[in-house]
């Protein structure tokens, strides 16, 4: 996690790989909501990077599983 954080500067939007590694580290640590936010940030900036799109999807699914698949709709 520390390596990912040092490689990513929140104010530097050009280093997308660092943001991706940061989001992935959050996901692997079980910080699914924080990971979702980071994946969304990357996806907004680089819709062409499939890793961000996949990260959003897997984070959302992990959150759904964690709350027991509750559906509000």
pLDDT value for 15: 77
Taking every pair of Cα atoms in the chain, the longest distance, rounded to a whole number of angstroms, is: 40
At 18 the pLDDT is 85
Q: What residues does each domain of the chain span?
A: 2-66
pLDDT, residue 69, reads 63
pLDDT tens-place values along the chain, 73 residues long: 666 665 555 555 557 888 999 999 999 999 999 999 999 999 998 899 999 999 999 999 999 999 886 555 5
pTM, to two decimals? 0.76
What are 14's two structure tokens?
């050009």
Residues 6+ apart with CB under 8 A from 28: none
Give Cβ neighbours of residue 26 (< 8 Å, ≥ 6 apart). Answer: 1, 32, 34, 35, 38
């Amino acid at each position: 996690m520390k390596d990912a954080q040092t490689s990513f500067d929140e104010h530097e939007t050009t280093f997308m790989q660092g943001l991706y590694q940061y989001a992935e580290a959050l996901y692997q640590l079980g910080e699914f909501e924080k990971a979702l936010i980071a994946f969304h940030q990357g996806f907004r900036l680089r819709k062409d990077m499939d890793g961000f799109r996949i990260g959003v999807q897997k984070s959302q699914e992990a959150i759904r599983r964690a709350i027991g698949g509750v559906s509000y709709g």
